[in-house]
């Protein structure tokens, strides 16, 4: 598995991150531990979790594995997140110093570690002054509790504001942004991607298969069924099946991914992951798994030899249809400096 640096930091991480939202929910403890080991065997080294994943269970499962495998644990780069509620107290959520301080300490305890490689603010908090959040994160780095920090689910202006505020104060800058990104969800290319490229922030895409829609299991006029997330619960994914089935752009993308995969001899999921791995700014794609077999199939996407024609076709057919000023054609021309007076 190839590797990249974590944004502008010196840490090196695998091109695929093991997402652990399934731990304690769709995968029990023993299965979760086998998934970690299979991921390491494939050459991975980057684990993503959050305090709210199964209400702390994901972190505890990881912590038990780390304690039982100290030598292998040294190879891992671990990231977790804080921001969302873990209790009912009025101060038990948000990006305030009070909440993040307690959330970070609780994550350290559940993981059984003295420091976390990357700590991410799970979402923007409009009620807390940005400087309060950034100062806490800088202090956490100085205290040796975290090595670096990142953001998650931020908009373009929020990313730029945070990066420039940290630079102005002489505080540590954000090094990553964890955000939804896939062939079906490309809205971040309007402003978020330019913002992270401008600031040297690494992208960590989540839901790279769009909640299962890019796995090739679903077809027009056929409601999802069977042992899959959408089959078990059609409301899963980005939108309900009743809304998705009439979206021609999305079905055109799904069909193109399926056809391209058949031509290349890989699975649709592998092709969708291979496309995402090649997008500007992407540091490491977060892949989740409910089983070792599912993990191994997703990891194999990095070995898919995709020709430029196929990549370009997928890029063109999945381009968002909405041309909202000042995005769309104007933005494309601005990037290439071909606007005329």
Our measurement of the distance from residue 125's CA atom to the centroid of its chain's CA atoms, rounded to an integer in Å, reads 19
**Structure confidence by residue, pLDDT tens digits, 279-320:** 999 999 999 999 999 999 999 999 999 999 999 999 999 987
Which CATH code of 3.40.50.300, 1.20.120.1200, 3.20.20.100, 3.40.50.740 fits the domain covering 3-214+267-304? Answer: 3.20.20.100
Q: Is the pLDDT of residue 223 over 70?
A: no
pLDDT at 227: 54
Mean pLDDT, residues 155-179 taken together = 98
pLDDT at 241: 43
Q: What percent of the chain stands above pLDDT 90?
A: 79
Label residue 339 by pLDDT band (50, 70, 90). Answer: low
**Structure confidence by residue, pLDDT tens digits, 85-125:** 898 888 889 999 999 999 999 999 999 999 999 999 999 99
pLDDT at 220: 75
Q: Is 76 helix (H, G, I), strand (E, B) or coil?
A: coil
pLDDT at 340: 52
Label residue 243 by pLDDT band (50, 70, 90). Answer: very low
User: How would you write the chain as a 3-class SS string?
Assistant: CCEEECCCCCCEEECEEEECCCECCCECHHHHHHHHHHHHHCCCCEEECCCCHHHHHHHHHHHHHHHHCHHHHCCCEEEEEECCCCCCCCCCCCCCHHHHHHHHHHHHHHHCCCCEEEEEECCCCCCCCHHHHHHHHHHHHHCCCEEEEEEECCCHHHHHHHHHHHHHHCCCCCCEEEEECCCCCCHHHCCHHHHHHHHCCEEEEECCCHHHHHHCCCECCECCCCCCHHHHCCCCCCCCHHHHCCCHHHHHHHHHHHHHHHHHCCCHHHHHHHHHHCCCCECCEEECCCCHHHHHHHHHHHHCCCCHHHHHHHHHHCCCCCCCCCCCHHHHHHHCCCCCC
Q: Which of 39, 53, 93, 218 is catalytic?
A: 53
pLDDT at 216: 86
User: In this structure, how many other beta carbons lie within 10 angstroms of the beta carbon of residue 165?
Assistant: 17
Q: Is the pLDDT of residue 39 over 70?
A: yes
Mean pLDDT, residues 191-196 taken together = 96
- Residue spans of the domains in the chain: they are 3-214+267-304
pLDDT at 226: 57
Catalytic status, residue 327: no
Mean pLDDT, residues 215-231 taken together = 68
Q: Is the pLDDT of residue 247 over 90?
A: no
Q: Is the pLDDT of residue 185 over 70?
A: yes
Label residue 242 by pLDDT band (50, 70, 90). Answer: very low
pLDDT at 336: 63
Q: Is the pLDDT of residue 16 over 90?
A: yes
For the question of whether the overall pTM of this predicted structure is more than 0.85, the answer is: yes
Minimum mean pLDDT range among 144-148, 255-259, 300-304, 320-324? 320-324
Those residues with Cβ within 8 angstroms of residue 47's Cβ, 6 or more apart along the chain or in another chain = 17, 18, 20, 36, 39, 62, 76, 77, 78, 79
């Amino acid at each position: 598995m190839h590797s990249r640096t974590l944004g502008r930091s010196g840490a090196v991480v695998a091109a695929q991150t093991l997402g652990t939202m399934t731990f304690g929910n769709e995968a029990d403890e023993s299965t979760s531990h086998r998934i970690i080991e299979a991921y390491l065997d494939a050459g991975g080294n980057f684990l993503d979790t959050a305090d709210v994943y199964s209400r702390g269970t994901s972190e505890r499962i990881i912590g038990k594995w780390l304690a039982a495998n100290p030598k292998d644990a040294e190879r891992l780069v671990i990231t977790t997140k804080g921001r969302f509620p873990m209790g009912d107290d009025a101060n038990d959520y948000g990006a305030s110093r009070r909440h993040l301080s307690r959330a970070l300490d609780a994550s350290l305890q559940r993981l059984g570690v003295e420091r976390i490689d990357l700590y991410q603010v799970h979402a923007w908090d409009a009620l807390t002054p940005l400087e309060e959040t950034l100062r806490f994160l800088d202090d956490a780095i100085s205290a040796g509790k975290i090595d670096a920090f990142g953001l998650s689910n931020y908009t373009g202006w929020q990313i730029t504001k945070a990066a420039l505020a940290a630079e102005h104060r002489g505080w540590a800058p954000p090094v990553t942004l964890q955000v939804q990104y896939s062939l079906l969800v490309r809205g971040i290319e309007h402003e978020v991607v330019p913002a992270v490229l401008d600031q040297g922030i690494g992208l960590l895409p989540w839901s790279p298969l769009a909640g299962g829609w890019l796995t090739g299991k679903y077809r027009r006029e056929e409601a999802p069924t069977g042992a899959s997330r959408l089959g078990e619960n059609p409301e899963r994914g980005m939108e309900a099946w009743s809304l998705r089935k009439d979206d021609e752009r999305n079905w055109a993308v799904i069909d193109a991914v399926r056809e391209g995969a058949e031509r290349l001899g890989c699975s649709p999921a592998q092709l969708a992951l291979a496309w995402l791995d090649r997008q500007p700014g992407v540091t490491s794609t977060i892949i989740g798994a409910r089983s070792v077999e599912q993990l191994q199939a997703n990891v194999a996407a990095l070995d898919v030899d995709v020709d430029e024609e196929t990549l370009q076709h997928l890029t063109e057919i999945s381009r968002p249809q909405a041309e909202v000023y000042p995005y769309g054609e104007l933005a494309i021309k601005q990037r290439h400096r071909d606007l005329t007076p």
